[in-house]
Chains A and B, each alone.
Chain A
Amino acid sequence: MDVILGLTTKDAVIVATSMAAVRGVSILKADDDKTRVVAPHTLVAYTGEAGDTVQFAEYVQANIQLHGMRNETELSPPAITSFVRSELAKSLRSRKPYQVNILIGGYDTATEKPYLCWVDYLASRAQVPYAAHGYAAYYTLSLLDRWHKKDISLEEGMKIMEMCVAELRTRLPIDFKGVQIKVIDRDGVRTV
């Protein structure tokens, strides 16, 4: 029941991830960060099978950081997404695939546009203006359909995000301990 949401604004991407880490009938912690910064302008948010999620996200992070060090250049968010998708595709036909669903939020410094991509464990990929994984999608996509527009400001985007979180608080049967918001824009990744 982890929540990960993303939406693009005119110059930035807002990514929200729930903060509860649940195992069985216990909440282990209420400040769990379900994201990893893989490049100066790209964030990977993950949800899925316990263990697989962090393992895969950190594997991606290590590879992208290595590429950055070796070639003294930053990969663009679409290039990183292609890498992530191809790794998931390889994993899919292995003995035990990674069961990880991902949202990649980034700022493409070459085109100067924000970038959001929905990738699931079957290695499907869709670049979208807003996205959610899991049960959260059932409640939030309709709100995002109704209120999201192209080129909204960061403030408007944050208001829509608050609306989504409020809806989830109303309708999800578990307490997900609120969300952590990350913003990715031309200056990089920051927590809000």
Chain B
Amino acid sequence: MADRYSFSLTTFSPSGKLVQIEYAFQAVNQGVTSLGIKASNGVVLATEKKSTSDLIDASSLSKISNITPDIGMVYSGMGPDFRVLVDKARKSSHTNYKRIYNEYPPTRILVQDVARTMQEATQSGGVRPYGVSLLVGGYDADNGFSLYQVDPSGTYFPWKATAIGKGSTSAKTFLEKRWTEDLELEDAIHIALLTLKESVEGEMNGNTVEIGVIGPASDHLLGFEGVKNIQGPRFRKLSPQEIDDRLDAI
């Protein structure tokens, strides 16, 4: 019985493709649109919180998660796969980095780690590729703000602004027209909301849209005071009220 599953499900097709990974991309493209925009002083991650029913308690669902205090992640595709990757990234940022160097990993290094995990699922026996594409936004002292996309194949790209999921093609065209080198964080949030509006089908308000921001350090989010030389986290989620305020301004 074990023999049947001891081969890799990702074997090459005659045309040189890995069909399982292609199908994983399909799973991503059926997922809800998510987007990320890099500004000169921050990164915005945004997604729609699509609920299948009005009875769902939307406030308890979090699609944008932080991995370290300065790095956040959003996805398009299969929610459970995202959860697993978030847990692995959070753990690995500690065991493979912070517990050795006593500092959190820079964005690129964390992205490489997640990408490796996703690639391993394309070259191992008995597993399937992860059905998510990720947008990872973060800050580190050496590279400033950065935005990366990670695909089910394990490829990762740095982006200035991008979208993944169902409405990604039209969203990317929209973003191409509006992104500039000297965008500020507030402008980027504004553009993110405008872009989402194009692809959101139902009502768009603070409860159906989720926005995560990697910006200036928020010392008030530390949870304690009085310690010198310690900065608060740069990742924070906008509250439904803050999102509604900005939607009113559109």
Report A's interface with B, CB cutoff 8 A. Answer: 71, 73, 75-76, 78-80, 82-83, 86, 110
Contact A86/B99 with A110-B141, A110-B142 known, Cβ cut-off 8 Å: yes
Inter-subunit contact A71/B101 (CB<8 Å): no
Query: Once the chains bind, are A75 and B141 in contact (CB under 8 Å)?
Result: no
Partner of B102, one of A71, A73, A79, A110: A79
Q: Is B109 an interface residue (CB 8 A)?
A: yes
A71 and B142 CA atoms in complex are apart in Å by 12
CB contacts (< 8 Å) of B106 on chain A: these are 71, 73
> Do B109 and A82 touch across chains, with their CB atoms under 8 A apart?
no
Q: Which of A73, A78, A86 meets B103, CB within 8 Å?
A: A78
Q: Given the complex of chains A and B, what is the CA–CA distance between A83 and B96 in angstroms? A: 11
| Bound Cα distance A86, B142 (Å) | 24
Q: Which residues of B contact A110 (CB under 8 A)?
A: 141-142
Q: How far is the CA of A110 from the CA of B231 in the complex (A)?
A: 15
Interface of B, secondary structure class, is helix
Q: Does B108 belong to the interface (CB within 8 Å)? A: yes
B142 contacts across to A, CB distance below 8 A: 73, 110
Mark each residue of chain B from 81 to 106: 1 if its CB lies under 8 Å from any CB of chain A, else 0: 00000000000000000011111001
Contact status A86-B109, CB under 8 Å: no
| B interface list, Cβ under 8 A from A | 99-103, 106, 108-109, 112, 141-142
Contacting residues, chain A, for B100 (C-beta < 8 A): 82-83, 86
CA distance A83 to B100 in the complex (A): 5
From A72, which residue of chain B is reached at the shortest CB distance? B108
Contact B141 A82 (CB under 8 A): no
Q: Closest 5 CB pairs between A and B? A: A82-B102, A79-B101, A110-B141, A82-B101, A83-B100
The residue of chain B having its C-beta at the shortest distance from the C-beta of A79 within the complex is B101
Which residues of the other chain, A, contact B103 by a CB distance below 8 angstroms? 76, 78-79, 82
Task: Give the Cβ gap from B116 to chain A, nearest Cβ, in Å.
Answer: 11
Known: A71-B108, A79-B102, A83-B100. 5 other contacts (CB 8 A): A73-B109, A78-B102, A82-B100, A82-B103, A110-B141
Q: Report Cα–Cα, A82/B102, bound state, in Å.
A: 6
Query: A71 to B109, Cβ gap below 8 A?
Result: yes
Residues on A with C-beta less than 8 A from B112 are 71
- Cα-based distance from A73 to B103 in the complex (angstroms): 14
What is the CB-to-nearest-CB distance from B97 to chain A, in angstroms, rounded to a whole number? 9
A-B contact pairs, 8 of them (CB 8 A): A79-B101, A80-B101, A82-B100, A82-B101, A82-B102, A83-B100, A86-B99, A110-B141
Docked CA distance A79–B109 (Å): 15
Contacts of A75 in B (CB 8 A): 101
A82 CA to B141 CA, complexed, in Å:
18
Residues in A with CB closer than 8 Å to B141 are: 110
Q: Which residues of A contact B101 (CB under 8 A)?
A: 75, 79-80, 82-83
By beta carbon, the residue of chain A nearest B102 is A82
Distance between A63 CB and nearest chain B CB, rounded to angstroms: 9
Q: Which chain A residues border B109 with CB–CB below 8 Å?
A: 71, 73
- Whole-angstrom distance from the CB of B90 to the nearest CB of chain A? 19
Q: Chain B's nearest CB lies how many Å from the CB of A32?
A: 30
Interchain CA distance A80-B101 in the complex, whole Å: 6
